[in-house]
A and B are shown apart, each in its own frame.
Chain A
Amino acid sequence: MNERTLYTTRFALMGGAAVVRFIDDRGQRHAETIARAAENEAFRIERKFSRFREESVVSEIARNAGRAPVAVDDETVALVEAALDLARLTGGRFDPTVGVLRRAWNFRAPRVPDDDELAALLPLVNHGAVSVRDGTVFLEREGMELDLGGVGKEYAVDRAADVLRAHGVTSALLNFAGDVRTIGGRGDGRPWSIGVADPRAPGQCRFAVRLIGGAGVATSGDYERCFVKDGVRYHHLLDATTGRPAQGVMSATVVAASAFLAGRIATAAFLLGPRDGLALIEGMPSVEGCLIDATGAISATEGMGRISNLPGSLYAAYSAL
């Protein structure tokens, strides 16, 4: 048996960087095999669910919008159902068909679409027009699109973690461009330390979550794919009921049993706003979280204080992240 070693690998995934760290004692060749298997699983999910890939199932569903249901497998049904659940949970503010609004919003350029532009597109944003039945998915109106970006990366990081576990890994941390999944602790009795990004200080963290055991951590925020114009921040988290970026929250972070669940709740909390968002998290069993509102103030569930360096401690004041 070899020495227990912390390995790390990185790869590009879904437009971001994925990092996989795990501890193993079966030598580097074996570690490479494990890492490659996790990587392959992440790529499989990207190929299957990315709206940027022609061969993906979501692209096929969009091509058949208004024409015919598309037969899909159980995994796809589960993801689409999860996205629809999130839509219902947020009263339609999250919507898996919101992707058509990209025709109006291009966050690479600081241009705010006018009401007419958005009004023309909003009829195509309707999760109620997504039908999941008998192993098929159907978008009822032509021109509609299905976007699982709101749940895909979180799902991928969970599946990659499953692969590691299947290979006997008991201590790992996976970070897919901000969506995190852990297995066990660091292996030396210490917890994994997950910094929560400061929404207004790139590269800095506001505080840290410390985790022992498997958990998922996800954050939704207004500081990626965004621009500021006339003092207003426009970002990619669109309220599907208005077609415009949700306001009131800078960042929502959720810790849950899986990144898939954490990601959905973080998105919902962000879209619901500081008060309702926190209430949503507090109402979920075994889920903790916090929101940083538009003033920069942090509000968190009670349990979040126990697994992080919130609040008010010296560590929190000058977080040594």
Chain B
Amino acid sequence: MAALRVAAVAATKRRRRKLRKLPWLAASVGAFAAGDLRAQSNLEFRYLFYQESGGRTAVSNPWLYLNQDFGLKGGQLSLLLGYDAISGASPTGGYPTADAVTSASGTSSSNTKFPMAAYNDTRKSGTVAYARKFGAHLPSVDISYSVENDYLSRGAGLTDAWTMANGRGTLHFGAAISRDVVTPVITPTIPARVDHDKSSNAAALGFSWIVGERDLLDVSASLTKLSGYLTDPYKIVPIATSSNTAPEIRPDTRSRYAVVFKYGHHFSDTDGALKVGYRYYWDDWSIGANTVDLLYDQRVGTDWIVSPLLRVYTQGHASFFSYQFAEQQTYMSSDYRLSAFYNILGGLTVSYNIRRDLVLSVGATYQFQQGQDRVVPSTAAVPLPLRAPLDDGEGGGAPTTVSSADMTVVTATVGLSWRY
């Protein structure tokens, strides 16, 4: 599920929530996280700014992480505090079906933008974790809590990293639960505030192996069972001619599976490290997803590390996703997060040792996302030859297809880490 976080390309509010609350999974990434678990005490502050194109979601997210090392017998206690200020708008699930748009005199002649619902929210979260080594075992336990206007989450996790084969291999496994309450805010379609329960039970198993002197390999798998209120209460689906819409309905259970392969190699001649990851995800909503990560850390001089990142993500759609439904169905959603799309992310992080114990890092990413489930915004028509080219953003006359998954995302991160 930490792997899920890696693949969280759309980084939506819900997804962000889900991926944050299971820090125990840090252990499940095995060798790549082992360094963290052996680290001395440190205090870290980060600020993340996230912005989707087209006036969609923007998130301002400062967080503070404290990891206190009490020594071999005392173990390690960590605390993560986060705050998200979320604003912007999110596609409602409807799509542009108007045959024409009446507007004040201007150049706009058609409606190709998806209906949006504006929203503002804040999320406050906290996680406490404790880990202590017992012989070859490094068990850890964590509890987490977060609250938003319409969402309350309480979680707990338990994990162990079992070192074997003279320290060359680590078997890591764990389990986590969360018990959440969804309380949709009142909108024209939600007349009263009602609590809905939602729960998650997860398990993960993996193995890390030190291959030779400069290579690491980690293989892991996870299973998450969700149940309860899994519908997004703010999403709608167009029915038939779009003359009517209805709230989306998702199944009340979901089983999610993922397998993750990670490989790391250190290049001694350049003092650089390449990390390659592949993740395959599937669930019983028929979504399948592939993620490939390439991260390279290059030390420059004694104080700098430059880390370019490339990630490619593809996702198939849920069995009950469509931009329009002929009639009411048992399950139906037009939420683009359940549609087929791909996402390419490029990023760069630069870290600088201000002092031996103080590291400043600055990073940015850019994502390009395109939906593969596309819809013609209004009734498809046969374009007639144009007398003259027309620069009205409508293309060459062919019907323009659109997807609410289409967007770009930029993020900027600045962090300061102090080891003590």
Residues of B within 8 A of A28 (CB): 382, 384
Residues of B within 8 A of A178 (CB): 101-106, 108-109
Q: Does A190 contact B (CB under 8 A)?
A: yes
Report the nearest A residue to B395, measured CB to CB. Answer: A10
Asked if A19 meets B109 with Cβ closer than 8 Å, knowing A11-B390, A204-B116, A317-B188, the reply is yes
Q: Identify A194's interface contact among B102, B187, B386, B390, CB under 8 A.
A: B102
Asked if A321 meets B384 with Cβ closer than 8 Å, knowing A153-B105, A197-B101, A217-B102, the reply is no
Q: Does A105 contact B (CB under 8 A)?
A: no
Q: Which of A15, A192, A204 counts the most B-chain CB atoms under 10 A from its CB? A: A204
Contact mask for chain B residues 215-250; partner A; CB cutoff 8 A; 1 contact, 0 none: 000000000000000000000101001111111000
Report the nearest B residue to A251, measured CB to CB. Answer: B104
Q: Does B300 contact A (CB under 8 A)?
A: no
Q: Identify B381's interface contact among A7, A16, A203, A316, CB under 8 A.
A: A7
Residues of A within 8 A of B390 (CB): 10-12, 17
Whether B105 and A177, one on each chain, are in contact in the complex, defined by CB atoms closer than 8 angstroms, is yes
Give Cα A64 to B378, complex, Å.
47
Whether B384 and A175, one on each chain, are in contact in the complex, defined by CB atoms closer than 8 angstroms, is no
Asked if A224 meets B103 with Cβ closer than 8 Å, knowing A9-B386, A315-B244, the reply is yes
Whether A319 and B94, one on each chain, are in contact in the complex, defined by CB atoms closer than 8 angstroms, is yes
Q: Does A268 contact B (CB under 8 A)?
A: no
Of the listed stretches A32-40, A123-131, A275-283, chain B binds A32-40
Give Cα A195 to B113, complex, Å.
12
Report the nearest A residue to B190, measured CB to CB. Answer: A317
Whether B245 and A318, one on each chain, are in contact in the complex, defined by CB atoms closer than 8 angstroms, is yes
Interface of chain B residues 88 through 124 with chain A (CB within 8 A): 92-113, 115-117
Whether B113 and A203, one on each chain, are in contact in the complex, defined by CB atoms closer than 8 angstroms, is yes
Query: Would you give the shortest CB distance from B93 to chain A, in whole angstroms?
Result: 7
Whether A17 and B102, one on each chain, are in contact in the complex, defined by CB atoms closer than 8 angstroms, is no
Give Cα A211 to B353, complex, Å.
67
Query: Would you give the shortest CB distance from A252 to chain B, in whole angstroms?
Result: 9
Whether B243 and A210, one on each chain, are in contact in the complex, defined by CB atoms closer than 8 angstroms, is yes
Residues of A within 8 A of B117 (CB): 318
Q: How large is the interface on A (under 10, 10 to 19, 20 to 34, 35 or more residues)?
A: 35 or more
Contact mask for chain A residues 211-227; partner B; CB cutoff 8 A; 1 contact, 0 none: 00000011111111100
Report the nearest A residue to B387, measured CB to CB. Answer: A11
Q: Does B39 contact A (CB under 8 A)?
A: no
Report the nearest B residue to A188, measured CB to CB. Answer: B379
Whether A177 and B236, one on each chain, are in contact in the complex, defined by CB atoms closer than 8 angstroms, is no
Report the nearest A residue to B91, measured CB to CB. Answer: A318
Query: Would you give the shortest CB distance from A110 to chain B, in whole angstroms?
Result: 18
Interface SS of B by simple majority: loop
Q: Does A232 contact B (CB under 8 A)?
A: no
Q: Does B35 contact A (CB under 8 A)?
A: no
Q: Does B394 contact A (CB under 8 A)?
A: yes
Whether A19 and B110, one on each chain, are in contact in the complex, defined by CB atoms closer than 8 angstroms, is yes
Query: Would you give the shortest CB distance from B205 to chain A, in whole angstroms?
Result: 42
Report the nearest A residue to B334, measured CB to CB. Answer: A320
Interface of chain A residues 163 through 178 with chain B (CB within 8 A): 173, 175, 177-178
Q: Does A5 contact B (CB under 8 A)?
A: yes
Asked if A320 meets B384 with Cβ closer than 8 Å, knowing A175-B100, A177-B105, A315-B243, the reply is no
Residues of B within 8 A of A218 (CB): 102
Report the nearest A residue to B188, measured CB to CB. Answer: A317
Query: Would you give the shortest CB distance from A37 to chain B, in whole angstroms?
Result: 12
Contact mask for chain A residues 298-321; partner B; CB cutoff 8 A; 1 contact, 0 none: 000000000001001011111111
Whether B103 and A221, one on each chain, are in contact in the complex, defined by CB atoms closer than 8 angstroms, is yes
Contact mask for chain A residues 80-91; partner B; CB cutoff 8 A; 1 contact, 0 none: 000000000000
Give Cα A177 to B383, complex, Å.
18
Query: Would you give the shortest CB distance from B96 to chain A, in whole angstroms?
Result: 6
Give Cα A131 to B243, complex, Å.
49
Residues of A within 8 A of B112 (CB): 203
Whether B109 and A175, one on each chain, are in contact in the complex, defined by CB atoms closer than 8 angstroms, is yes
Q: Which of A17, A192, A218 counts the most B-chain CB atoms under 10 A from its CB? A: A17
Whether A195 and B105, one on each chain, are in contact in the complex, defined by CB atoms closer than 8 angstroms, is no
Whether B101 and A195, one on each chain, are in contact in the complex, defined by CB atoms closer than 8 angstroms, is yes
Query: Would you give the shortest CB distance from B244 to chain A, in whole angstroms?
Result: 6
Q: Does B165 contact A (CB under 8 A)?
A: no
Q: Does A56 contact B (CB under 8 A)?
A: no
Q: Identify A179's interface contact among B102, B111, B387, CB under 8 A.
A: B102
- Name 7 interchain pairs, CB-CB below 8 A, sorted by A: A8-B384, A10-B390, A17-B392, A21-B99, A21-B100, A194-B101, A203-B112
Known A35-B384, A173-B99, A217-B102; further 18 A-B contacts with Cβ < 8 A: A8-B397, A173-B100, A175-B100, A175-B109, A177-B106, A178-B102, A179-B102, A193-B378, A195-B100, A195-B102, A196-B103, A202-B108, A204-B111, A221-B103, A314-B247, A315-B244, A319-B94, A320-B93
Closest 5 CB pairs of A and B: A320-B94, A221-B104, A195-B98, A203-B113, A317-B188
